[in-house]
Chains A and B, each alone.
Chain A
Amino acid sequence: QKEVEQNSGPLSVPEGAIASLNCTYSDRGSQSFFWYRQYSGKSPELIMSIYSNGDKEDGRFTAQLNKASQYVSLLIRDSQPSDSATYLCAVRRRYGSNRLAFGKGNQVVVIP
């Protein structure tokens, strides 16, 4: 079982719509959860972090965490062409090295 799974294929959304991305993780003791955005040919950059169950909003982005279901999601409201990128879910283990493990990412394409 992979540490972090993102199974959805490329997501195409019209400009102004909501993009919804999902992620599951295997280590029940994980405490910190992140969403990174990676533009093509560029490095990942942090856009959201969440540590407790529930929703966290930052501008057009909302992260949702459900530790009982080991599930993290990201909503992008009012999607813009500049949101076209790959979104990486990352989970930090609680013990040991606190390794930050990444999922494979979900590509989002916003169509003008």
Chain B
Amino acid sequence: EAGVAQSPRYKIIEKRQSVAFWCNPISGHATLYWYQQILGQGPKLLIQFQNNGVVDDSQLPKDRFSAERLKGVDSTLKIQPAKLEDSAVYLCASSFTRAHTGELFFGEGSRLTVL
């Protein structure tokens, strides 16, 4: 079974530039998550989709971050304009269901460096 795919793995940009990350979840997984993990911290949920609907985006900085999951499968996370504090690993995860027993499967992450 293929895992969660993410691209690009690494991205370096200057502040005020834009960047986009792509995620393809495990086939059949209805729930997709984007987490931000800053060095030395635990993952922080940015947005959670159930199929193509947003379930939780309460911690997404909506003035600069946006995400979509148009056909209920793959997803894109965009940052525009980037700030220095956005330097982090962006982790995409998926699960079969958002029920309380669901295990999250993470992709390898996209490491962003903002200069």
* Known A102-B42, A102-B44: A92·B108 in contact at CB below 8 Å: no
Number of chain B interface residues as a range: 20 to 34
| Interface of chain A residues 17 through 74 with chain B (CB within 8 A) | 31-32, 34, 42-46, 49, 51
Q: Are B104 and A32 in contact (CB under 8 A)?
A: no
Q: Are A97 and B98 in contact (CB under 8 A)?
A: yes
Determine whether A111 belongs to the interface, using a CB cutoff of 8 Å to chain B: no
The closest CB in chain A to the CB of B43 belongs to: A102
Q: Are A97 and B48 in contact (CB under 8 A)?
A: yes
Taking A46-B103, A99-B48, A102-B44 as known contacts, 20 extra A-B pairs with beta carbons closer than 8 A to each other, sorted by chain A number, are A31-B100, A32-B100, A32-B101, A34-B103, A43-B91, A43-B106, A45-B106, A49-B101, A51-B101, A88-B42, A92-B100, A97-B58, A97-B98, A98-B98, A98-B99, A99-B45, A100-B104, A102-B43, A103-B42, A104-B41
Query: Which B residues lie at the A interface, using CB under 8 A?
Result: 33, 35, 40-45, 48, 55-56, 58, 91, 98-101, 103-104, 106-109
Determine whether A101 belongs to the interface, using a CB cutoff of 8 Å to chain B: yes
Determine whether A112 belongs to the interface, using a CB cutoff of 8 Å to chain B: no
Query: Which A residues lie at the B interface, using CB under 8 A?
Result: 4, 6, 31-32, 34, 42-46, 49, 51, 88, 92, 94, 96-105
Tell me, in angstroms, the Cα distance from A51 to B48 when the chains sit together: 22
Q: Are B42 and A105 in contact (CB under 8 A)?
A: yes
- The 19 sampled A-B contact pairs (Cβ below 8 Å) are A6-B42, A31-B100, A43-B107, A44-B43, A46-B103, A94-B100, A97-B48, A97-B55, A97-B98, A98-B98, A98-B99, A99-B48, A99-B56, A100-B104, A101-B45, A102-B42, A103-B42, A105-B41, A105-B42
Smallest beta-carbon distance A66→chain B, Å: 18
CB neighbours (8 Å) of A31 from chain B are: 100
Tell me, in angstroms, the Cα distance from A51 to B104 when the chains sit together: 16
CB neighbours (8 Å) of B40 from chain A are: 104
The closest CB in chain B to the CB of A107 belongs to: B40
- Among A94, A96, A100, A103, max chain B CB count under 10 A is at A100
